Amino acid sequence: MTRRTPLELAGAEPGPAFTVTFDGRELAVLPGRTIAAALWSAGVTSWRTTRAGGEPRGVFCGIGVCFDCLVTVNGRPNQRACLLPAEPGDVIRTQEGTGHHD
Amino acid sequence: MTDRTGGRPHLAVVGAGPAGLTAALAAAARGVRVTLVDSAREPGGQFYRQPAAALGARRPEALHHQWRTWERLRDGLARHIASGAVTLLTDHHVWSVERESGSAVVHALLGPAQEESVAVRADALLLATGGHERVLPFPGWTLPGVLSAGGAQAMLKGGLVLPGRTAVVAGTGPLLLPVAAGLAAAGARVAALVEWADPRDLLRHVRVFAARPAKLVEGARYAAELARHRIAVRPRHTVVAAHGSRHLEAVTVAALDRDGRVRPGTERRVACDTLAVGHGMLPHTDLAEALGCRLDGVAVAVDDEQRTDVPGVWAAGEATGIGGAALALAEGRIAGLSVAARLHARTPDPRSYAAPARERAALRAFFAAVDSVCAPPARWAEQVTDDTVVCRCEEVPAAAVREAVGELGAGDVRTVKLLTRAGMGWCQGRMCGPAVAGLAGCPEAAPRRPFAHPVPLGVLARDPAPAPPSDLAPHPAPDPASAPDPAPPSDPAPHSGPASAPVSDRAPRPTRHSPSTGWESP
Amino acid sequence: MTKPLTCDVVVVGAGMVGAASALYAVRAGLRVVLVDRGPVAGGTTGAGEGNLLVSDKEPGPELDLALFSARLWDGIAAEPGVARAVEYERKGGLVVASDPRGLTALEGFAEGQRAAGVAAAPVAAGDLHELEPHLARGLAGGVLYPQDAQVMPTLAAAHLVRLARLAGASLLTGSTVTGVLRTASGSVRGVRTPRGDVHAPAVVNAAGTWGGELAALAGVFLPVLPRRGFVLVTEPLPPTVRHKVYAADYVADVASDSAALQTSPVVEGTAGGPVLIGASRERVGFDRSFSLPVARALAAGATRLFPFLEGVRAMRAYLGFRPYLPDHLPVIGPDPRVPGLLHACGHEGAGIGLATGTGHLLAQVLIGRAPDLDLAPFRPDRFPDSPPGGSPDRSAEGPAGLPGERLRESPGRPGEFHRPEDTP
């Protein structure tokens, strides 16, 4: 059986991709995708390290309940990547600890 | 409060999934003005989660089941929005509900910035808040690549994206079947479907299938889909551990004996980069509890008309007990009919909702049987090693929970939380609650969460508008230019349809307001 | 029926005060059984902020007890592993005044405290931000109280109970006291629980807000009443608020309407990361319903004090019931009306801090020593023997002529206790 992509399965005809950066690296993002979906599609599955253990985290519940996918976007920490739509030019950064600086 | 323009009573519905949508349509068709509030960008809830409009999906139905039902709901909603009977507020995150002099007030943060709150005031309130997945911990479950089964499905349906190439789907419950089938259809290799229950046990519940033969057909259809994708199904198996350093690399799968213990020697390592895992669902009850609604176990208690014990507050769908979309549709319809009758000072005729009531009874019986078959194995907590993180937010290991009970005199979930911080983090115990209860040997209890959603203190500090001129009142905002512009009741449609732009697109995103206060003046 | 336990003293209530009472008693050589209807710290202790404060107390017996207790807390915290386990931090309190009038009143208040032995250093307006960089601009000044400290109250109670058990005390949780056993002559001889009797010649009432009910079981009237308070809890932050910071406005208030909701901003960080925001006071009985107006008032007060909190999110709120007596002093010591009955309750918003002194003094009484502090102001029989007019609640002013009566609301007790809403 040939493997296809979710975009093919749903017959998606998205608009042109735009660019965001993740930790300084440029990523192409299809319009409509959340930050989490944008990062997944670029092969990135973790974008936060925990306060105590420094452990990597990414999407867990996928619906905004667990807050595991917190990320810093455009300088605002603790945004839920699974809910927040990506916008052209977004500056996404791996969030460390509380995401706040003293 | 009744509508100033048309004199119609006003219902606020929290949740635009199958239950909330059905109720909204039923009530709107019977002379009730409805405001439908949902946190997502599109209506549909988790079951009918839609791909983002900008992705231009021509075949969204390829990701869904019961698409005809959705088309009916979607078209009905569009009609009622066009006629002004229904106002749809998407990307509105409800953080609190209040009852105030006979009306209900719903407070919602406007996403995605979540720096403004609006209040919706209505004569009646329907809580169709749905549920979320229960995932019990096991070693390695915090590794990236391990995610909830529903989460994998939500990301696929909404973002048309997969987390990896090779997936294992594991846990228990009816959700695993569509998740495995969906991931496979979208191009993932599904290495195994690991289910700790034995689906054949369900066949012992002959009567429930006699009442719901459709469920047998549904099961057979999934079995065929799994076979078509060559997905190996492993009943009475469990994932013992997830492995990897910074990302999931493999899982260990083992067989369970009749007592729910791992059979020694059956452990097998399966390479994968994705583990979609779930152990059933839990109702969202925060808002109901904040209003003081009685709970029945972990679900909102309702009567035959889907009324809670708080006057003017109805509940339907997963919030009143997990039972899937078909049950949510039946309950939503009953709730909508009841609201419409009661708001017009009538008692609904039970014959008017006899059909959905029969459906409701049969489906509740069916899911009670599912629950009994898919209950966690009695010994699941034994597999949780001391160093396994139980509370993902606060990184509390199982050892700390065990110590709180064994050494420090905790006897209930609340004291365990206070002694260990398990459940004190961002998710407020929504993820770890069942695990902590299981490890501590306490009953699963829904703790009170006065805020259903984190709320900025600046938003909280701003008083809501006193006596709002409309029943959709933005709180005083520091910067009028960035304030939301909700439509007054006379404006029939802030949205032309469910696929229209989300409300929040009007607000600039990352700017932070700092309203000046007396203390800040020099 | 199980064989009754026998010991020297039964402590009823495994909150902070009961835990400290059990610890000091067992260390004084007594055989101790600690009984609670729920788990350890299941009542007001589990709903507190864990303040060990001298800053909020005017000169008098309560301040003397607070200073005494603070020294004992230092000693306990110096025991191996304790400070870390209970998150003991001598962070200091910073009381700030928003205008010159308030500052004058605050400085006068501090002067009196200094005479009573409190360390209280004036802080000029220009120096406030060195102590608290995120504090609002434009404040008139403040006073720094380096003796103020903090613990995590549930951990503190649980670890003191653990130390007491290591020293030989027994803990009976989930055991409601349904009766106080008396001899023919009226002396106490133990307590009754559904899980069996516990025999002892002494019973300590450390039942906190429910102390009046336990007193009633022993046949005496003790007017302990609940005063509700809410606390807001923020998202986790790096160390941002260094001290316990609160507004001094209450000091400038000459009188207050004691029936209405009162809120004064109290802000502090925690070892766990979240910032705690108090403090509200309401007399609404044991009403556990959440109040959005109270939460709004707390948020408004806190954001005035620390404007950066505007953008910080509140994750939860909890509430609790402080135990208070009409004259706002606890009851500590033997009850002359019932030989063998001792009280240690009614500490209002200060029980975590006052627990060590309370436990120490009670242990001295139990072994027949003269207590290090005069217990006369805390006498349990200082109130009338029955509720006036039969009404269980009353205004803060209370019936005229009570010894130790205060004619106005006790000046701010920012370190209030609260019971979380999520109590089953």
Q: How confident is the model at residue B219 (pLDDT cuts 50, 70, 90)?
A: confident
B237: left (phi over 0), alpha (psi -120 to 50) or beta: beta
DSSP 8-state symbol, B376 = P
CA angle, C240 then C246 then C248, to 5°: 150
C-alpha span between C257 and B320 (Å, rounded): 43
Q: What is the mean pLDDT of residues B485-503?
A: 33
* Rounded-to-integer distance, Cα B199 and Cα B373, Å: 8
Q: Write out pLDDT tens, residues C91-118.
A: 999 999 999 988 999 999 999 999 999 9
Is there a contact between B450 and B290 (Cβ–Cβ < 8 Å)? yes
Chain C contact set for A100 (CB, 8 A): 237-238, 240
Average pLDDT, chain C: 88
- The mean pLDDT of chain A is 95
The residue-averaged pLDDT of B269-297 equals 95
Distance to chain C for B302, nearest Cα, Å: 20
Taking residues B188-202, what's their average pLDDT? 90
Chain C nearest-CA residue for A50: C236
Cα–Cα distance, B110 to B474 (Å, whole number): 10
Q: Do A12 and B55 touch (CB under 8 A)?
A: yes
* Interface check A73 vs B, CB under 8 A: yes
Q: In the prediction, which pLDDT does B473 show?
A: 43
Q: Does a structural domain hold residue A5?
A: no
Domain span holding position A51:
14-96
Q: Which long-range contacts (CB under 8 A, 24 or more apart) does C176-183 make?
A: C176/C37, C177/C12, C177/C35, C177/C37, C177/C214, C177/C217, C178/C217, C179/C217, C180/C214, C180/C217, C180/C218, C180/C219, C180/C341, C182/C218, C182/C219, C182/C338
Binary contact (C238, A78; C-beta < 8 A): no
- The answer to whether the Cβ–Cβ distance between B39 and A64 falls below 8 Å is yes
Asked if A31's CB is within 8 angstroms of B427's CB, the reply is no
Confidence of residue C250 (pLDDT cuts 50, 70, 90): low
- Residue B512 has a CB neighbour count (10 Å cut-off) of 12
- From the list B447, B512, B519, the residue facing C422 with the nearest CB is B447
**Which of A55, A63, A67 comes nearest B142 by C-beta?**
A55
- Cα angle at C366 between C363 and C369, to 5 degrees? 85
Secondary element (H or E) of residue B168: strand B166-172
Q: Write down which chains contact chain A via at least 3 CB pairs under 8 A.
A: B, C
B510 and chain A in contact, CB less than 8 A: yes
- Residue C312: pLDDT above 90? yes
The set of chains that have 3 or more CB pairs under 8 A with B is A, C
Residue C179's pLDDT is what?
A: 97
Tokens of C100: 């010159």
Q: Does C232 touch chain B (CB under 8 A)?
A: yes
pLDDT bucket at C77, cuts 50 / 70 / 90: very high
Res B205: pLDDT: 75
pLDDT band at B451 (very low <50, low <70, confident <90, very high): very high
- Residue A7 included in any domain: no
Average pLDDT for B152-166: 96
Determine whether the interchain pair C41/B418 forms a contact, defined as Cβ–Cβ distance below 8 Å: yes
Range of lowest pLDDT (B281-290, B456-465, B493-502, C24-33): B493-502
| DSSP 8-state code for residue B209 | H
Q: Which residues of B touch C420 (CB under 8 A)?
A: 414, 418, 448
CB-closest option in A51, A78, A102 to C239: A102
Q: Considering only CB atoms, which chain C residues are within 8 Å of B436? A: none
Do B510 and A4 lie within an 8 Å CB cutoff? no
* Cβ within 8 Å of A, B 233-262: 246-247
Of C138, C289, C316, the CB nearest to B519: C138
Q: Tell me, what's the pLDDT at B223?
A: 86
3-class SS of residue B471: coil
Question: Testing the interface with C: which of A51, A67, A98 to mutate, by most C Cβ within 10 A?
Answer: A98
Q: Is B68's Cβ below 8 Å from some Cβ in A?
A: no
Domain membership of residue A1 (yes or no) is: no
Distance between CA atoms of B466 and B446, rounded to whole angstroms?
33
Q: Do the beta carbons of residue C119 and residue C66 sit within 8 Å?
A: no
* A4 found inside a domain: no
Indicate which CATH number applies to the domain containing A77: 3.10.20.440
Chain A CB contacts of C313 under 8 Å are: 78
Q: How far is CA A83 from the centre of its chain?
A: 9
Amino acid at C131: L
Q: Please judge whether A78 and C235 are an interchain contact, meaning their C-beta atoms are less than 8 angstroms apart.
A: yes
Residue B464: pLDDT over 90: no
Q: What is the mean pLDDT of residues C286-293?
A: 87
- Give domain status of residue A26, yes or no: yes
Kindly state whether residue A91 falls inside one of the protein's structural domains.
Answer: yes
Q: Is residue B484 scored above 70 in pLDDT? A: no
Residues in chain C: 424
Mean pLDDT for C13-21 is 98
Cβ pair C273:A101 closer than 8 A: no
Residue A6 belongs to a domain: no
Residue by residue, DSSP assigns A57-91 as E--SSSSSSS-TTEEEETTEEEEETTTSBP-TT-E
- More reliable by pLDDT, C271 or B36: B36
Q: Residue C205 in contact with residue C13, Cβ under 8 Å?
A: yes
Q: Which pLDDT tens digit goes with each residue over B304-317?
A: 999 999 999 999 99
Residue type, C150: Q
For residue range B372-423, list pLDDT tens digits in order: 888 888 788 988 999 999 999 999 999 999 999 999 989 889 999 999 999 9
Question: Per mean pLDDT, which range of A28-32, B37-41, B461-465, B509-513 is the poorest?
Answer: B509-513
Give how far C241 is from chain A: nearest CA, Å.
10
Task: Determine the pLDDT at residue C255.
Answer: 33
Asked if residue B112 has a cis previous peptide bond (ω within 30° of 0), the answer is yes
Report CB contact under 8 Å: A82, B426: no
Q: Report the pLDDT averaged over residues C367-385.
A: 95
| One-letter amino acid for residue C117 of the chain | G
Q: Taking residues C309-338, what's their average pLDDT? A: 94
Backbone angles phi, psi at C236, to 5 degrees: -65, 140
Q: Does B79 have pLDDT greater than 50?
A: yes
Cβ separation A65–B430 shorter than 8 A:
yes
Spell out which residues of chain B touch residue A95, defining contact as CB-CB under 8 Å: none
How far does A28 lie from chain C, in Å, by closest CA?
31
Of residues C1 and B314, which shows the higher confidence score? B314
% chain C with pLDDT above 90: 78
Grade residue C404 by pLDDT with cuts at 50, 70 and 90.
Answer: very low
- B3 pLDDT more than 50: no
Instruction: Evaluate whether residue A19 is within a structural domain.
Output: yes
Give the number of domains in chain A. Answer: 1
pLDDT bucket at B443, cuts 50 / 70 / 90: confident
| Element (DSSP H or E) covering residue A22 | strand A18-22
pLDDT at B221: 86
Rounded CA separation B45/B151 (Å): 13
Contacts of A78 in chain C (CB under 8 A): 235, 313
Task: Check CB contact under 8 Å for A97 and C240.
Answer: no
State the average pLDDT over residues C393-415: 33
Nearest CA-CA distance, residue B33 and chain A, Å: 29
CB proximity list for B207: less than 8 A, separation 6 or greater:
B365
Residue C2 pLDDT level (bands cut at 50, 70, 90): low
Closest CB to A74: pick one of B39, B146, B510. B510
* Per-residue pLDDT reduced to its tens digit, C52-72: 999 999 999 999 999 999 999
Average pLDDT of span C157-174: 97
C269 has a pLDDT exceeding 70: yes
Q: Helix, strand, coil proportions of chain C in percent (round to 5)?
A: 30, 25, 45
Phi and psi of C54, rounded to 5°?
-110, -20
pLDDT at res. C381: 93
Q: Among B407, B418, B450, whose Cβ lies nearest the Cβ of C290?
A: B450
Cβ of residue A3 closer than 8 Å to a chain C Cβ: no
pLDDT of residue A2: 54
Arithmetic mean of pLDDT over chain B: 86
